[in-house]
Chain A
Amino acid sequence: MTQTDRLLPVNEAIDRLEAQIRSDQQDGTLVDPLIVGIHTGGVWVADALHRALGCQEPLGRLNITFYRDDFNTLGLHPQVSPSDLSVDVDGRDIILVDDVLFTGRTVRAAMNELFDYGRPRRIALAVLYQRDGRELPICADWAGQELTLGPDEQIHVDGPDPMTARLVTSKES
């Protein structure tokens, strides 16, 4: 197995994401949004957006371990840190943030968890990288970069400081 890495420009993708959200905020599509990141990569992206957009309320963090749909096959995933959502989500506009949108299953789990905290008015999805391979009818509202990848290609996001993204290609040698 050989593996090749190519760095993806992270800062540019975050800037594009921020610009898109800001423009929708000015249109009045989003009212006073609450930013919620999905552990772990999504929290890093959410943190950057939270700072860039100057949000006053604390950043929310979701750990979707207890909502995954693969417990029957994979069991319980080790949990790094629990969910932390200190602000009431009832009637709020929420920007859900993840690093990579791939199958859509993580986002499905995150939405289920959000609804156990209350009933948001609207959930919008912001991702750093949107790639092909969706297994559920889920699509990002904003994406820093769109990519169409081969079956042997994956995006790895590392962080938080500095945050880097790599396009990893694995080939049978």
Chain B
Amino acid sequence: MAVKFVRPKIPKFAPDPWAIQFDEQGHLRHLLTIEGLGPQWITRILDTAEGFVSVTDREIKKVPLLRGRTVVNLFFESSTRTRTTFELAAKRLSADVLNLNLATSATKKGESLLDTLRNIEAMQADMFVVRHEQSGAAHFIARHVAPHVSVLNAGDGWHSHPTQALLDAFTIRRHKGDFTPLRVAIVGDIRHSRVARSQMHVLNSLNVGELRVIAPRTLLPTDVEKLGVRVFHDMREGLKDVDVIIMLRLQRERMEAGLLPSEEEFYRLYGLTEEKLAWAKPDAMVMHPGPANRGVEIESSVADGPQSVILEQVSNGIGVRMAVMSLCMSANRGDNT
């Protein structure tokens, strides 16, 4: 890999590595991870998103809030959905957007991450949206940006994908209201999923009734129980009485790494088919962060079925990202409690 990347060193005196997300007044400045946000900030983001989602139902889907600001999408790893929804979110806030696909750009020519950063800062950017294949990349960038710049993590390695988890929580809240009575099951490749990790933090912060993971042992992180989940290896047991099913994308590389015998085997045991869906509650909602592998982790008729909210997740993603962008950009501006 061409990008020179130094794993961020967390200074010993900082009790919380995520404290960097807040400015001196305790206002959210960067969104790097769900950890440290707590239920109050999570709820504030979700409440703000409600207002932005109503904007996207209008004839003119734009508000003037970030007029004159520049948002730079720094994508070191390719992504269509996440990048386009971040781009649309920034545009609907009237910001100017610059998309840099660094997977194919200067970094391949040997420019260091910090040099790239300084160059873009010199273009008077106000916000970086960062996607990187290495865990901790957004954190590293947040530690080195100019004081007026905010950093949003759009997915780093196996670590975190906070806006995805927030839009999932938003979608669940819109359908089910209160989290406390809910049973939620996350199914599939938990071990390599930054989405799953962020979802666990969000749902546990919001005091979800019961959080389950359903996966073969090879696709679970060690000590997964410490993340506050009940572990199941069998779909019939795991889906019993569940209100929300979150399917994860299975990446083909996992098969190559020998963690799974075959796609067919995985689909037979863990793929969400109509038959398996019937084991959950009749009104269970089906979610997937996308892009879904039909016939690998989910049956087409389930992905497109009446219980699926997969496309709604995409639409809600715009409103949630608008909320995070405008909240972070209002940091360092005095009294905004």
Contacts and interface: CB of A to CB of B under 8 A. Distances in A.
Contacts of B66: 71
A20 to B, nearest CB: 31
Contacts of B44: 78
Nearest to B60: A116
A115 B129 CA distance: 31
Contacts of A81: 50
B336 A82 contact: no
A130 interface: no
B137 interface: no
Nearest to B25: A75
A74 B63 contact: no
B58 to A, nearest CB: 6
A82 B333 contact: no
Interface in A115-151: 115-118
Interface string A51-92: 000000000000101110001111111110111100000000
A152 to B, nearest CB: 21
A117 B57 CA distance: 10
B65 interface: yes
Contacts of A72: 333
Contacts of B333: 72-75
Given A71-B330, A74-B335, A117-B60, A82 B65 contact: no
B64 A66 contact: yes
A78 B46 CA distance: 11
A65 to B, nearest CB: 7
A43 B59 CA distance: 23
A74 B64 contact: no
Determine the interface band of chain B, counting residues with CB < 8 A from chain A. Answer: 20 to 34
A71 B334 CA distance: 11
A11 interface: no
Contacts of A118: 59
A66 to B, nearest CB: 4
A103 B235 CA distance: 62
Nearest to B65: A66
Interface in B12-66: 27, 44, 47-48, 50-55, 58-60, 62-66
Interface residues of A, number: 22
A117 B59 contact: yes
B334 A73 contact: yes
B336 A63 contact: no
Chief secondary structure at chain A's binding surface: loop
Contacts of A73: 333-334
A112 interface: yes
B47 A79 contact: yes
Given A72-B333, A74-B334, A75-B330, A65 B51 contact: yes
B113 interface: no
Given A75-B331, A76-B326, A82 B62 contact: no
Contacts of B302: none
Q: Most B CB atoms within 10 A — which of A81, A82, A112?
A: A82
Contact of A67 (B27, B63, B326): B63
A82 B50 contact: yes
A81 B62 CA distance: 18
Contacts of B330: 71, 74-76
Given A66-B55, A82-B54, A118-B59, A76 B48 contact: yes
Given A66-B64, A67-B63, A117-B60, A76 B54 contact: no
B58 A76 contact: no
Nearest to B51: A82
A168 to B, nearest CB: 20
A162 to B, nearest CB: 27
Nearest first, the 5 A-B pairs at minimum CB distance are A75-B330, A75-B336, A66-B63, A82-B51, A116-B60
Interface of B: 27, 44, 47-48, 50-55, 58-60, 62-66, 326-327, 329-331, 333-336
Interface of A: 63, 65-67, 71-79, 81-84, 112, 115-118
Given A67-B63, A84-B54, 14 more contacts: A66-B63, A72-B333, A75-B27, A75-B329, A75-B330, A78-B44, A79-B47, A79-B50, A81-B50, A83-B54, A116-B58, A116-B59, A116-B60, A117-B59
